[in-house]
A and B are shown apart, each in its own frame.
Chain A
Amino acid sequence: QVHLVESGGGVVQPERSLRLSCAASGFDFSTYGMHWVRQAPGKGLEWVAVIRFDGSNKYYADSVKGRFTISRDNSKNILYLQMSSLRAEDTAVYYCARAGGTSWPDFDYWGQGTLVTVSS
């Protein structure tokens, strides 16, 4: 079955960088777009970024544009989120989720999430 496992979270100081990973299994990763979504403690869901199945197009929320970079390695079935110039307001659980297509919906499968805490 579909399995998404995020890793790379932790405590990081403001203005530093961190890279998250999402290991995918149970489906043909190279044919699916992928999202990152985050959830600050006690708050709602916020879409962060999306990447097309082949990495050809990437889109970002205004709140992270210019600071975060989404990428993927289809040979390893891994999705990445490189985060730089981190701020306190980036503190959140970061989820990866599958993007939709012509016959399946967006966000049909989610990982368990990885917590990023930005604090000095």
Chain B
Amino acid sequence: NFMLTQPHSVSTSPGMTATISCTRSSGNIANSYVQWFQQRPGSVPNIVIFEDDERPSGVPDRFSGSIDSSSNSASLTISRLQTEDEADYYCQSYDNNTWVFGGGTKLTVL
């Protein structure tokens, strides 16, 4: 089985852009869709990106996703940061009947 590795934390300021990476340990990142979830403190995870780069309805267009086969990684980019974006973010993918979450990244907006 593969692992998804994320930075433990990312810190930036309101109005700026944050990028969170998610590196797949084995197998091609492009072989299975990557999804991203936001989890605010005390709340349930909420999907913000699906199928690598698609946004569910209701998610602001400040959120975008991408994959990079050269680094075997996915990225979540949040532009025009707001304090409400402060949360834990998890990437997730799938392979061979196994669903895998990354370890999570704590985004601090201050």
* CB-defined contacts of B37 to chain A, threshold 8 Å: 45, 107
Output the nearest chain A residue to B100 by Cβ-Cβ distance.
A47
- Given A44-B90, A45-B37, decide whether A108 and B47 contact each other with a Cβ distance below 8 A: yes
Q: Which residue of B1, B35, B102 is within 8 Å of A106 (Cβ)?
A: B35
- Given A50-B99, A108-B56, decide whether A45 and B44 contact each other with a Cβ distance below 8 A: no
**Shortest Cβ gap from B78 to chain A (Å):** 19
| B101 touching A105, Cβ below 8 Å | no
**Shortest Cβ gap from B51 to chain A (Å):** 7
| A47 touching B99, Cβ below 8 Å | yes
**Shortest Cβ gap from B26 to chain A (Å):** 15
Judge whether B98 is part of the interface by a CB distance below 8 angstroms: yes
Q: How far is the CA of A106 from the CA of B44 in the complex (A)?
A: 15
Q: Is the interface of B mostly helix, strand, loop or mixed?
A: strand
| B44 touching A46, Cβ below 8 Å | no
* CB-defined contacts of B104 to chain A, threshold 8 Å: 44-45
* CB-defined contacts of A44 to chain B, threshold 8 Å: 88, 90, 101-104
**Shortest Cβ gap from B82 to chain A (Å):** 23
Output the nearest chain A residue to B35 by Cβ-Cβ distance.
A105
Judge whether B45 is part of the interface by a CB distance below 8 angstroms: yes
* CB-defined contacts of A110 to chain B, threshold 8 Å: 44-46
Q: Which residue of A50, A61, A105, A111 is within 8 Å of B44 (Cβ)?
A: A111
Q: How far is the CA of A110 from the CA of B20 in the complex (A)?
A: 23
Task: Give the A-binding residues of B (Cβ under 8 A).
Answer: 1, 33, 35, 37, 39, 44-47, 50-51, 54, 56, 88, 90, 92, 94, 97-104
